[in-house]
Amino acid sequence: MSYDNYQNLYRRNMLAEPTQLYSDRDLWTPTSDQKFMLGCQFRTNDGRAFRYAKAGGLGLSKCLITASPPKDAQAITSTIQTAYGASAGAKQFDVLLSTGNAWANNYLRDGVLLVSDGGTAMGDCYRIKDNIWSTSDTVMKVEIADAGGLRNAIAATDDVILFANKNWNTVVAPTNATGTLVGVPLVGVTANYYYWAQYRGVAPVLTDGTDTIVDGDAVMVSTSVPGALALVDASADDVIVGICHHAQAVDECSLVDLLIP
């Protein structure tokens, strides 16, 4: 897969040490305006990795794990493309959606279009360059970034789902998962600001007061304290977020070797 039609308003290519982030957009300086594409990577020589993300309508506390927001109703609704569809090779085309969503123009930049059901195109997945409403909240004009456009035609009988970038409008990870885990901000983040979230390497994360965690334990997001660490239990839906590197007392920050996907 390759791309020749990316949204290039913001830097996209990964940064790595010894490259330095400017002081007005570094790991400890959230900004009101966007500086990089959502999901842009920054890696350090000591094994830490960060991804660029945006806070949602509520601020984020430092050292709490963040996650993508609960999906818009549109994103969990496969919509048959009755009277719509698009030809193979198309890069810009209309997508029929069900009504009642909260999306706006440009919200889906660097998101994903999935043909979720149908014929030959079923399972095709594309990176979204941009989006704009064609007809109220029913028909969305989408432009994709993939080189060559659509690999297979989308038929009127195919189902399509649109997803926002997982790093957009992030929230403190809830005690019951509603979205994909993103990472850990090292500073407090104002609502709707852009920030760097650490997802690999040793990082400070608040420890839930209900568990006893020792060095070497696998940890997950707490089921009682949003965004905090807890000891992995036996539940089938546990997601390991890292290995405890140095355990601190309850309600304090421990050091965790993060393994967030």
Tens digit of each residue's pLDDT (9 = 90 or more) over 177-220: 888 999 999 999 999 999 999 999 999 999 987 778 889 999 99
Nearest to 13, CA basis, from 33, 34, 43: 43
Strands 41-43 and 15-16, by their bridges, are parallel
Q: What is the pLDDT of residue 3?
A: 67
Q: What is the pLDDT of residue 88?
A: 97
Q: What predicted TM-score, i.e. pTM, was given to this entire model?
A: 0.90
CA distance 257 to 261: 13
Question: What does the block give as tokens for 192?
Answer: 């709707």
Beta carbons of 93 and 86 less than 8 angstroms apart: yes
Beta carbons of 171 and 42 less than 8 angstroms apart: no
More confident residue, 176 or 125: 125
In this prediction, residue 125 has a pLDDT band, given cuts at 50, 70 and 90, of very high
Whose structure tokens read 């400070």?
Answer: 204
Half-sphere exposure at residue 254, Cβ-oriented, CA atoms within 13 angstroms: 31
User: Average pLDDT in the 8-12 region?
Assistant: 70
In this prediction, residue 174 has a pLDDT band, given cuts at 50, 70 and 90, of very high
CA distance 251 to 6: 43
> What's the chain look like in SS3?
CCECCCCCCCECCCEECCCCCCCCCCCCCCECCCCECCCCEEECCCCCEEEEEEECCCCECCCCCEECCCCCHHHHCCEECCCCCECCCCCEEEEECCCCCCCCCCCCCCCEEEEEECCCCCCCEEEEEEEEEEECCCEEEEEECECCCCCCCECCCCEEEEECCCCCCEEECCCCCCCCEEEEECCCECCCCEEEEEEEEEEEEEECCCCCCCCCCEEEECCCCCCCEEECCCCCCCCCCEEEEECCCCCCEEEEEEECC
In this prediction, residue 244 has a pLDDT band, given cuts at 50, 70 and 90, of very high
**Does residue 5 carry a pLDDT above 70?**
no
Tens digit of each residue's pLDDT (9 = 90 or more) over 12-66: 777 888 777 888 889 999 999 999 999 999 999 999 999 999 999 999 999 999 9
Task: Please give the distance of CA 232 from its chain centroid, rounded to a whole number.
Answer: 23
